[in-house]
Amino acid sequence: MELDDLKNKWQQENEKLSREQHKDISAIERLLTHKMADLVSAMKTKYEKIITMMLGSMLLMILVFPILSDGFSYPGSAYGFAKCMFFYILLITFYWLKFRNILHLTLSDFLQERMTQLLRILERSRRIEIIFCIVFYMALLGVGRFFYGKGLAGLFTLEMLGFFLLSLIFAIAMIWLIGYRHTRQIKELKQYLEEYETA
């Protein structure tokens, strides 16, 4: 009789422990689901801010440039304005496409698989933005030279080397900023994934 009572007590304790563990896992899943939603929302907000800033600065350029160039009367001012608008449209289109991808993002219903999908998306997004940044600044310098018909003439003067150096520093700073922001989100997501796997 005592042995049966002891077995029943053990069974009850095991069932209680199992229920508590299930509650803990459910609570962790709810918390991580909420964190995942916050992460996706932060990605959308980031691209919304970038697009808004680009549109605002583009509008400011449209309003100010004619005044600074005295109604486009300075030589090459119209070409310079056209070049600026081209690069603005290029940047806005790039970030609009990224925002649109996040807006129409379809993730798995299973939490672990969803986190893995989002992790791959973030890593790919970081790689694409860094490559775009490098290509953009190379194109900016190249188009600027050939747009005004200068080509390779006077490319290795002290003035041009200084300009290239400043442009390189700015490009490196932008690449670092892009990498830093993405890496922070990637580390955060990896931490969530580890929390789920160890739960």
pLDDT confidence of residue 193: 80
Can you tell me the distance from the alpha carbon of 71 to that of 59, in angstroms, rounded to the nearest whole number?
A: 16
Contacts for 91 with CB less than 8 Å, ≥ 6 apart: 54, 136
User: At residue 106, what are phi and psi to the nearest 5 degrees?
Assistant: -115, 115
First to last CA, the chain: 38
Report the pLDDT averaged over residues 32-56. Answer: 86
How many Cα neighbours within 13 Å face the side chain of 36?
25
| pTM of the shown model | 0.71
Domain of residue 46: give its range. Answer: 2-198
pLDDT confidence of residue 197: 74
pLDDT at 36 over 50: yes
* Number of domains, the chain: 1
The mean pLDDT value of the chain amounts to 77
Q: Which has the higher per-residue pLDDT, 134 or 197?
A: 134
pLDDT confidence of residue 136: 83
146's tokens: 């050939």
Helices (H), the chain: 2-68, 77-103, 111-147, 158-198
Confidence tier at 49 by pLDDT (50, 70, 90): very high
Is 107 in contact with 118 (CB distance < 8 Å)?
yes
